Structure 1
């Protein structure tokens, strides 16, 4: 029996009455956390050391606060406007400062990128696990409580609930626990009316939960990620990657400016193909990569469209859907899907379709109850038909034999019993979603015909082929699994989540799964997008390296790597060829060093030289490649909408300039010497007032105000 409540604090008594004071809590990654409910348990455990609390989760989202005085002032103002009443997770500060009480442990398998570097508590309690193995690991840790935020839909049919953004682990945990004969974890939910309602496997009844808290004071806007500007480096990578996507194929992408750049370039390919083709030609992309593009890519418009199979449902897929690109529907029947792939069966039902199914041995000549229910579920037979052994009856009472040997009977069934179109098609399957405020509004606005096209599923269904391989193989045709990484060595091994000193930046997530799947699926490719360089505090470093002490993707799974300078196809190539191709897409400042190392280790012939076409891999060359298109209004910084006001963008530009020009001691001294003499103009005074620095009191505030004014002058738009 489900217990209904209006107060999160009442969960403590309920849990204690059911399992005592040893709480091993699993809660979703990302926005599916019921923050107030988690905070109630966390604060209770902090105040009562007799409670043993372990939290197993991932991607605990933190409202940014900043480090320097200027960053804190800016983010305080922006956060108050943008995040509003978002309830922050109480344990985040304790984890960050390693002050979590001894009776509490917080374990994460994926961390908000870069937020937990140097945090002893976070780094020591990180669990390195493929996303698809996390549910197993949670069950092995004997998770006995699941806390989940859920969506609700109230209508004339009653109250319905949805796991919404996070069916990813919850469904798998319960399934695995049952299979292993372990006690079912308590499932506690907190309703949030602002969370988009999603159907499919995400929709569950009230009986799915042991305890539900529903009160308006707990409703809040889900954590939204502010749009990040896309620069020319990202756009160059996105443009190159867009040439590798085949019409009629499958796509997986992640979140961030690189993925957004790919989406924008793909839209340009479809909506402004002439401009797109001219850009590819004039930039030399076609000349350099025509063979690879002809073999496994395309540059034309999307006639059949794409289907998305992605662990994360990001805003980019909404953009592709609205652009008429994400439109290839897949259906939950392997044999039927194979016929659709081969253009042997139409999604519109018409006379002759049963004969087609007979001809291709999808059904037998005598319809059984199982076949009848299968055809009815798929929409091939009308929903108002009834079946009895050997007999099909329509709504008027007319009966038909289930034996299709008789041509007249078959014709009668096809005349009177067929549906109009296939049902349960989907353009996307995903395990969780997260994104901007615009994205959540878009999800809320989907109509009843559109919403079923976007199916939220357990992560086990998306990130692996096991358990439904026959169906997955015919749905995920010509797949392009596109991910980002931090470093790639010259032999193709990639580091995507951890630094060379084992400090975890984020986590493995599902990247390994998708790379491996690309090798397992016919006509599919893994694409790793990589910025060629990283600007450190003291110098610029190459992200293409001779070797790296850690890897997320081993070199035997190497496939395609894309930087702003080009595409390296590494699949099935010798080590020497891989080295040559990786050097060709490296920044030219580092090419000779990489070449020399490879020659010294006898992995590269001493007489090999970087081809002339790749000797000018510079940021200036990349900017020049896109300059003409940008002058015509293409490749804007915020193609899908922005979240910062004009004033906020002005201050952001100044803060970025200041960070660059205080990167080392010499730069700090130079910048300070200039800042000491500045006096704010009236316009600059307005920015200082917004930052609460117009009447500085302390020396730190006075110096910060002068530095900001200097930075504003250097970043002022003419």
Structure 2
């Protein structure tokens, strides 16, 4: 069963001024279609782009294209950060678990969806590859679906399967998927990874993201047993633990023995690993990030990061002052799910100071900062100087605990501020 293909220039002619266009994201970003759409900028105006995180240069945020396109993003990656903070774009604060409601409840109805899929199998089914997340509800609700059909897209198991009849127009593409490479783990990151790994019990179900600190944690888990994965995303760091038998998922309740995720970003080795692999189930974010589902697994250990944390435990993870840096994402979904899981542990892991030498443990959050996770939800906090558990601690006790794992250069100042605020700690 074949679908007649057209050129990218022909495909993007189905977009009209004033419409809302969805872009699939991460490694599956359909840049061939996106760039072709940008070439039509002189014919279009007031086109709204709805997305999460995309890979690529995001021409639609740059001159002269941004006169025709306006990005309205549910997460802010580096390629759209300037537009969002510069007035040529906007950010929607929303949990990853609830973005599907914007489409399914017709709050932000989609006119055209740009996606990237594998070629169809003999039955006419294509795979959404490594980005099912909010793409599946976008495809189900969009008036028009335009797909890049690419043989480099892995056929993944789970819910990210759509039929050719769900695709209105298609273009052919042979581009490589977006590759996310790592950098060497620093000594500080290695110490954080060691501390976090000591909190993880055998039989735990893990949620972790991408980056050096999650990878440093994974590097310290080789002696663990029966670990499982239920996460919104993963990257290459889990592969050695799967190969060595550390990650088996045998203690999980939800999809026992399976790795559950809604998107993945990494190397070609990762994409080869998930291709036609029934061990890995790609689900939409409404499933992976549903707190009621997360909490059913045992010992859910959610490892998240923070830009700053104040002395009462308030977490800012998506802004630097009033500048939007990333997004709410799935942090609260998993922090709450872990805290409600039997034996679960919500963990925040971060360096004690920034690369510029600014303390991440602060008396107060910066003016304009968003509270990504409330102090009532925060339990374990880890820096290179140790681990503290804030659960059940009053404000003075929290301040004292956090100061104990702060960078030594800032402890005296933090103690002064704590004394002024709380009358001693």
Instruction: Give the TM-score normalised by structure 1.
Output: 0.55
Alignment deviations for residues 234-284 of structure 1 (CA, whole Å, 9 cap, x no partner): 0000000001111112000000111110111112xx1xxxxxxxxxxxxxx
Secondary structure of 1:488's partner? strand
2-structure distance, mates of 1:453, 1:322: 12
Structure 1 residue 92, shift from structure 2 partner: 4.6
Secondary structure of 1:152's partner? coil
2-structure distance, mates of 1:330, 1:193: 36
Q: Is the 8 A contact 1:153 1:197 kept in 2?
A: no
Name the counterpart of 2:204: 249
Name the counterpart of 2:281: 455
Structure 1 vs Structure 2 CA RMSD:
2.5
Alignment deviations for residues 414-462 of structure 1 (CA, whole Å, 9 cap, x no partner): xxxxxxxxxx754211111111233224334xxx6xx111000010001
Name the counterpart of 2:166: 208
Q: Which range is displaced more, 230-239 or 26-35?
A: 26-35
2-structure distance, mates of 1:477, 1:171: 28
Change (3 A) 1:4 1:52: farther
Are 1:316 and 2:237 counterparts? yes
Q: Is the 8 A contact 2:59 2:65 kept in 1?
A: no
Are 1:572 and 2:399 counterparts? no
1-structure distance, mates of 2:188, 2:313: 21
2-structure distance, mates of 1:4, 1:111: 35
Secondary structure of 1:245's partner? coil
* Structure 1 unmatched ranges of 5 or more: 63-87, 178-183, 271-300, 332-336, 339-423, 606-718
Name the counterpart of 1:34: 30
Runs of 4+ in 1 over 3 A off after TM superposition: 99-103, 117-124, 157-160, 441-444
Secondary structure of 1:140's partner? coil
Secondary structure of 1:56's partner? strand
Change (3 A) 1:22 1:597: closer
Name the counterpart of 2:102: 137
Name the counterpart of 1:488: 309
Secondary structure of 1:5's partner? coil
Alignment deviations for residues 25-51 of structure 1 (CA, whole Å, 9 cap, x no partner): 11222122211112222221x1214x5
Name the counterpart of 2:273: 442
Q: Is the 8 A contact 2:336 2:377 kept in 1?
A: yes
Q: How does 1:141-160 map to 2 (within 5 A)?
A: 141-152=108-119, 154=121, 157=122, 159-160=124-125
Change (3 A) 1:93 1:162: same
Name the counterpart of 1:544: 361
2:180 to 225, 250, 253: 225
Are 1:23 and 2:19 counterparts? yes
2-structure distance, mates of 1:259, 1:431: 17
1:260 to 215, 223, 226: 215
1:197 to 137, 155, 158: 155
Q: How does 1:520-539 map to 2 (within 5 A)?
A: 520-536=340-356
Structure 1 residue 171, shift from structure 2 partner: 2.3
Secondary structure of 1:556's partner? coil
Structure 1 residue 115, shift from structure 2 partner: 6.8
Structure 1 residue 144, shift from structure 2 partner: 1.4
2-structure distance, mates of 1:121, 1:507: 16
Give the structure with the higher percent helix: 1
Name the counterpart of 1:107: 72
Name the counterpart of 2:247: 326
Name the counterpart of 1:613: none
Name the counterpart of 1:662: none
> Which structure's CA Rg is the greater one?
1
Q: Is the 8 A contact 1:60 1:111 kept in 2?
A: no
2-structure distance, mates of 1:52, 1:328: 47
Q: Is the 8 A contact 2:102 2:108 kept in 1?
A: yes
Q: Is the 8 A contact 2:380 2:388 kept in 1?
A: yes
Change (3 A) 1:102 1:153: closer
Name the counterpart of 2:290: 464
Structure 1 residue 482, shift from structure 2 partner: 0.4
How many residues are treated as equivalent by the alignment?
420
2-structure distance, mates of 1:39, 1:141: 23
2-structure distance, mates of 1:330, 1:149: 34
Secondary structure of 2:118's partner? strand
1-structure distance, mates of 2:54, 2:248: 33
